[in-house]
């Protein structure tokens, strides 16, 4: 389990940029460490109502994260091609990381084992990582979905704290 104060586990996954169905590059977390705070927003599945609301809220407030030199990434077990379609359909401005082999959700211990009693997915959760690669904020859903506006504001505050 990854806790506040731990070094963020490194990983490499496909990054869906959203410009086209096959807009894919490779993303390695350690390559990004040191360029400003990083927000990893794990969500269960693209195209679902709660995940769409959450990612749209992050997307709508992306400017406030950019003002802090922070990058926000959505991450799920969806294939990157599906993520690209979702980015386009919802006009999301946040790149998505595809943990299609489920290694990252296991490493960060945010596995939602029985989505619709069918599949293993990412548990809704958020991690903030500072310039030294240290987790400075961790939130994991417990119970119903939160008010996403409030959650995104709290995450932005955590990013501001990570810059200090």
Closest CA to 46 of 9, 96, 11, 1: 96
The structure tokens listed for 32 are 């990004």
**CATH number for 124:** 3.40.30.10
Active site residues: 51
pLDDT of residue 117: 56
Q: Is residue 2 in a domain?
A: no
Closest CA to 41 of 117, 116, 118, 141: 141
Domain that holds residue 52: 12-163
Count how many Cα atoms sit within 13 Å of the Cα of residue 115 in the half-sphere of its side chain: 18
Q: Is residue 109 in a domain?
A: yes
The structure tokens listed for 119 are 């599949």
Residues pairing with 96 in the sheet: 16, 74
Q: Is residue 139 in a domain?
A: yes
Per-residue pLDDT tens, the chain, 164 aa: give them: 899 999 999 999 999 988 887 878 999 999 999 999 999 999 998 888 888 889 999 999 999 999 999 999 999 999 999 999 999 999 999 999 999 999 999 999 999 876 555 677 889 999 999 999 999 999 998 878 777 888 889 999 899 988 87
CA atoms 80, 84, 89, 95: torsion sign:
positive
* Cα–Cα distance for residue pair 69/162, rounded to 1 Å: 11
Q: Is residue 3 in a domain?
A: no
Count how many Cα atoms sit within 13 Å of the Cα of residue 49 in the half-sphere of its side chain: 1
* Cα–Cα distance for residue pair 148/1, rounded to 1 Å: 24
pLDDT of residue 148: 85
Q: Is residue 6 in a domain?
A: no
From the number of C-beta atoms within 10 Å of its C-beta (0-12, 13-18, 19+), residue 55 rates as buried
Q: Is residue 107 in a domain?
A: yes
Q: Is residue 1 in a domain?
A: no
pLDDT of residue 115: 54
Q: Is residue 52 in a domain?
A: yes
Domain count, the chain: 1
pLDDT of residue 106: 93
Q: End-to-end CA distance of the chain: give it in Å, rounded.
A: 25
Q: What is the pTM of this model?
A: 0.93
């Amino acid at each position: 389990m990854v806790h506040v104060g731990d070094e963020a586990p490194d990983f490499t996954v496909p990054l869906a940029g959203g410009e086209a169905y096959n807009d894919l590059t490779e993303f390695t977390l350690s390559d990004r460490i040191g360029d400003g705070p990083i927000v990893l927003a794990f969500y269960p599945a693209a195209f679902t109502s709660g995940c769409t609301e959450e990612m749209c809220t992050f997307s709508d407030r992306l400017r406030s994260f950019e003002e802090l030199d922070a990058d926000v990434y959505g991450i799920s077990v969806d294939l990157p091609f599906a993520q690209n379609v979702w980015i386009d359909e919802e006009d999301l401005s946040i790149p998505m990381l595809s943990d299609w082999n489920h290694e990252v959700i296991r490493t960060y211990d945010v596995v939602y084992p029985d989505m619709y009693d069918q599949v293993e997915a990412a548990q809704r959760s958020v991690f903030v990582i500072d310039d030294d690669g240290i987790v400075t904020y961790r939130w994991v859903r417990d119970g119903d979905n939160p008010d996403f506006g409030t959650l995104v504001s709290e995450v932005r505050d955590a990013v501001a704290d990570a810059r200090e």
